[in-house]
Amino acid sequence: MTSASSPVPSTAGRRQLLITVAAVLTALCVIAKVTADRQLADRTVNLGPLDLQLGFNFGVAFGLGDQMPKAAIVVVTAAITLGVLTVAWHRAQELPLVALVGFAAVVAGALSNVVDRAPDGRVTDYFHTGWYPTFNLPDVLITVDAGLIVLGVIREDRNAETSGRSSKT
């Protein structure tokens, strides 16, 4: 599924990219969480359509499952994160580069939320719109980059179809 028009890094190089991007984004997410905890404890920062306002989520997406045992949420989320990383690791060579980076960002967002939740059972949220549940940078990474994975794979499939048709003519 890789494009013939661009050089393809080795499997080891693609795996290194996966881990490096995931590590850098995880670090950024942890820094954002620590900063939010310190800077937003007693105030809201208005940025127009978006406020920076401290909030906490004891559940998973949109607060669902907030009555579940904290350990269960941590274990299940960590297992899913490991599963996503495993898929990306094993398919690193065949994934389009945009999808590989998307997988790295999804892993970073999920891992950041696991690290945040593990000590006290809650995730720190800080982006507040007033019309949508409060969320955080890891949530943005998971959502946006899941879309990038899909778009990257669709684009690559279309490229493969096009080059398959042109080689038959």
pLDDT single digits (tens) 101-111: 999 999 999 99
Sheet hosting strand 123-128, strand order edge to edge: 44-46, 51-57, 123-128
- Number of continuous H segments (helices) and E segments (strands) in the chain: 4, 3
What's the mean pLDDT in 121-143? 92
Catalytic residue among 42, 139, 145, 157: 139
Tokens (6 digits) for 3: 């494009």
**Residues 15-39, mean pLDDT to the nearest whole number:** 97
Reported in sequence order, the residue ranges of the chain that DSSP labels E, i.e. its strands, are 44-46, 51-57, 123-128
| Predicted pLDDT of residue 82 | 96
Give Cα 63 distance to the centre of its chain: 18
Evaluate if residue 1 carries a pLDDT over 50: no
Residue 30 makes CB contacts below 8 A (sequence gap 6+) with: 112, 115, 116
| pLDDT at 166 (0 to 100) | 56
Contact 156, 99 (CB under 8 A): yes
Q: Write b or e for each residue in 104-128: b if 16 or more Cβ atoms lie within 10 A of its Cβ, otherwise e.
A: bbbbbbbbbbbbbbeeebbbbbbbb
Separation of CA 38 from chain center:
24
The candidate with the shortest Cα–Cα distance to 15, out of 95, 114, 112, is 95
Q: What is the pLDDT of residue 163?
A: 66
Mean pLDDT over 83-91 rounds to 95
Q: What are phi and psi of 10, to 5 degrees?
A: -65, 165
Catalytic residue among 51, 116, 125, 145: 125
Burial class (CB in 10 A: 0-12, 13-18, 19+), 69: exposed
Active site residue 125: yes
pTM of the model: 0.83
What is the percentage of the chain residues whose pLDDT exceeds 90? 59
